[in-house]
Chains A and B, each alone.
Chain A
Amino acid sequence: MIFLATNALPGNVAETVLGRNATPELVAKLNHQLHLDEPVLTRYGNWLIGTVRGDLGESAVAVVQGNPESSVTSLIGIPLRNSVVLALISIVCLIPISLLLGTFAAVRAGRAGDYAVSYISLVIGALPEFVFGTLLIAIFFSGLGLFPPVSLIPPGTSPLADVGELVLPVLTLLGVSVAFCARQVRAGVLDTLSERYVTMARLSGISEVRVLWRYALRNALAPSVQTFAQALQYLFGGIIVVETLFAYPGIGQALVQAVTLRDVSSVLAVTFVLAGVYIAINVLADVIVVLAVPKLRTGLR
């Protein structure tokens, strides 16, 4: 489907790359070189066979520009790694923060603490990433001069080399996803808090901390796992805006570039990888839920 969608885009890579110098002859020649003159079905077949073999094809743009590293796999490898680093750091911060905030809000349901968490998260959650990111830049860079507003990672260096560069993108991503996750956790914990076994635990003299931890939060985990899976998917795929804002060389940027240049095989490769990640996260989340819920794990009697 993605294959068809990219092919349906007006213009093609040859025209884009050659720009104003394009003559019909040159375009035709390049098209032939890139096998773009073959029928769509044949190209799809070739791509499919290549993908199965682990070869995502060659980037048309790189070929045209005479880049020696023209295989898509090597071209998207580094942005992918950068994005994974960004997403993992975010999710590692996201889970404990949302669990804490969500549980806190649930325990204080209907009181000031709950309203504070709920309203603030609602407001932040309603802001688009670029607005929130720009706000953060305004505060931390322009105002306090703490962190750089762009994350230009020189080729060949790890994004972890300068952690300061990661702070603002991570904060932006967290701002949006914590708001969403904390509210979901709050709802889950609030549900379990009204369960009879929580009341029963209180009536059995079990301390409130333990009641919260082992009775309320423990049983609210299953729905929370799904929420975190959604957040992680968002962190992998939906960070294009954030990457663009901070000029972070991640996979989102790579995708935007590829689309602009009509670089079909790169677009395909990126979307293919993202789809794979989505599926993997969903499967993983389902496995974790089954492990977390004894009733599912042990089967119904």
Chain B
Amino acid sequence: MNDHSIGSEVLVLRGLSVCLSTGDPVVEDVDLTLHAGEILGVVGESGSGKTTTALSLLGYSTPGTFIAAGQLRIEGKALHMDESMRPMRGSIISYVPQDPAQALNPSLKVAAALKDVLGAHGTPRPGNNAAEDALRRVGFGQAKTVASRFPHQISGGQQQRVSIALALCREPAVVILDEPTTGLDVVTQAQILAELRRLRTEQGVAMVYVTHDLAAVSEVADRIAVMYAGRVVEEGPAEQVLRNPRHPYTRGLLASIPDHVRPRVLEPMPGIAVGVGERPSGCPFAPRCPQRTDDCVAEMPTLEPIGDTRRVRCIHHRKTPPVRTFSVETLPRPSEIGEQPLLMIGDLKAEHRSHREVTVAAEQISFDVNKGECVALVGESGSGKTTILRTIAGLHPIAGGRVLLDGHALPSLVNHRSREQRRRIQLIFQNPAAALNPRQTVAEAIARPAQVLRKLDRRSLPAEVARLLECVRLPVRLANRYPHELSGGERQRVAVARALAAQPDILLCDEITSALDVSVQAAVLQLLLDLRDDFGLGLLFITHDLGVVATIADTVLVLDRGSIVDRGPTRDVLRAPTSDYTRRLLAAAPTVSRTPSSANDPFPVSL
């Protein structure tokens, strides 16, 4: 696959170090090489230094950091990595940001934004035609219409495509893409990825694709560099790195990724990534590493070559075991399913009302959740899945149909439900930062439901908080912290602990892992599965990630524009979908089990 496209070296980075103004290194000693027409995936979790590295390639360092060392050559020309690179930006090397909604000037129409970039640095300011051409090149059918829109008037997918047009309009040799598809739904993501492959092939642009999403990167990258704690820990051809990871961290990442093509038991990595300033002197991954020895802690391992094409920073890389493919489907499951359904949803309808307008968010929704069963509700944004969940929780009025708990109808709104009914159904939100009271400590947040809904007396609360923290695998010392002192993954686990404090029978989860790093996601998912199996908890799980569905769900409901289009046991729906919509979702979902060569473009690019 790689042979046809690999050309001469376009970009060479040597010995990059970026430090905080306090002197603590963020990125250390990073070497990257990019060949003409190649896509290099730079993969890592939050805090790994991948975005810092990407920005350094444009001579940019975010406020509070500075580029301490490093040599950069692009197309053979040595460049100073500082603001002197501004004339090169856009013309030789360009950048596609993570969140296009925030990265486009809200006051400029698309055409004006393009003309600003096209006309930067003395080149004569181009006309509308040049702007429309730039849009057409990234696959916009109706370039004229889009050109005359403001950013808020186009969809997220279109915004990202405009960002790509901005990056490509001056035909640079290298494009840096920083999480370009995070936040987009799978179908749009698949279109963007297909678009990138096409641009690479047709225009020979070399790309650096920065992401935390190994599945997405496996769909486009020729080579992969994995970063951990500010260093490259493994590098090599994408297929080899994904099939046969040599660094235990790469292996851990791969084992954490839920995959819908080959569903398997996740193996969460222990611990969390080390932060800037608290990196150990030896191998930074050692504290979390299952194959650590005393030698690992002694000194930083070097990036050693293995064969001609790969390098790995691990002294025990020969010992790294392959990723186990322990299929979920072969696991024994407690067979409590089928008795009396815990939760029965019958012909449910939900509406959104604004002024005199009534929009139906969902209708004719019927399904059951049994004790110890996990039901996944899948669909793109706008499919009504969150509204359904909120209606069941009593946060949104029932417009028709009914919600039965143990055969008894629940009142529409939560304030009409009895304390016992409220206790039995708990909801966890997508964004834990917004769902936790910033003025409550972890212990207070967790103790509250236990005290109010279970009537536990004050003296038994500390023990209960400790038990729940252990349950979600958080150290008890976090009990007196405030939410802002925690990482995203820790906060979400506090939110889970708070829901569990009510000892619910049913847990409603709204995309609770979508903002988490894969290793943390794996830990949270594993926790939910344990609770399901140990306590017979019923789970209703909203997600757009089919990999997550394959890993944890017993039953799947696929939702499209407010109605259920596909349903059944998970393996049946994923293997033999009955609706076109499900088939499209499945084809679009990225997976590490598909290599770039086998990835075809299921979506003709259109708007």
Residues of A whose CB lies within 8 Å of any CB of B are 195-197, 199-208, 210, 214-215, 218-219, 292-295, 298, 300-301
Q: A203-B60, A295-B150 are in contact. Are A196 and B103 (CB under 8 A)?
A: yes
A2 CA / B309 CA spacing, docked (Å): 85
Q: Contacting chain A: which of B38-46, B104-112, B256-264, B484-492?
A: B104-112
Q: Contacting chain A: which of B1-9, B90-98, B363-371, B568-576?
A: B90-98
Kindly list chain B residues whose C-beta atoms are within 8 Å of the C-beta of A293. 106-107
A300 and B94 form a contact (CB under 8 A)? no
A294 and B106 form a contact (CB under 8 A)? yes
Q: Which chain B residues numbered 249 to 299 have a C-beta less than 8 Å away from chain A? A: none
Q: Is B117 at the interface (CB under 8 A from chain A)?
A: yes
The closest CB in chain B to the CB of A297 belongs to B150
Kindly list chain A residues whose C-beta atoms are within 8 Å of the C-beta of B87. 205
* Number of residues from B at the complex interface, CB < 8 A: 32
Which of B62, B90, B107 meets A205, CB within 8 Å?
A: B90
Q: A206-B120, A207-B121 are in contact. Are A298 and B150 (CB under 8 A)?
A: yes
Residues of B whose CB lies within 8 Å of any CB of A are 55, 58, 60, 62, 86-91, 94-95, 97, 99, 102-109, 116-117, 120-121, 150, 152-153, 166-167, 170
B102 and A196 form a contact (CB under 8 A)? yes
Which of A196, A202, A205, A294 meets B88, CB within 8 Å?
A: A205
B152 and A300 form a contact (CB under 8 A)? yes
Kindly list chain A residues whose C-beta atoms are within 8 Å of the C-beta of B90. 204-206
Kindly list chain B residues whose C-beta atoms are within 8 Å of the C-beta of A214. 105, 107-108, 116
A195 CA / B101 CA spacing, docked (Å): 11
**Interchain residue pairs with CB less than 8 A apart (9):** A204-B117, A205-B91, A206-B116, A214-B105, A214-B108, A219-B105, A293-B107, A294-B107, A301-B152
A195 CA / B106 CA spacing, docked (Å): 11
A195 and B121 form a contact (CB under 8 A)? no
Known: A203-B97, A206-B116, A219-B106. 7 other contacts (CB 8 A): A200-B97, A200-B104, A202-B86, A203-B94, A205-B94, A205-B121, A298-B153
Shortest CB-to-CB span from B96 to chain A, Å, is 9
Shortest CB-to-CB span from A279 to chain B, Å, is 27
A232 CA / B274 CA spacing, docked (Å): 54
A195 and B116 form a contact (CB under 8 A)? no
A197 CA / B166 CA spacing, docked (Å): 12
The closest CB in chain A to the CB of B98 belongs to A196
The closest CB in chain A to the CB of B169 belongs to A204
A200 and B116 form a contact (CB under 8 A)? no
Q: Which of A201, A208, A214, A219 has the most CB of B within 10 A?
A: A201
A293 CA / B150 CA spacing, docked (Å): 11
A46 CA / B87 CA spacing, docked (Å): 72
Kindly list chain B residues whose C-beta atoms are within 8 Å of the C-beta of A206. 90, 116-117, 120
A203 and B89 form a contact (CB under 8 A)? yes
A300 CA / B151 CA spacing, docked (Å): 11
A128 CA / B86 CA spacing, docked (Å): 47
Kindly list chain B residues whose C-beta atoms are within 8 Å of the C-beta of A219. 105-107
A300 CA / B354 CA spacing, docked (Å): 14
Q: A196-B99, A205-B86 are in contact. Are A218 and B116 (CB under 8 A)?
A: no
A300 CA / B170 CA spacing, docked (Å): 32
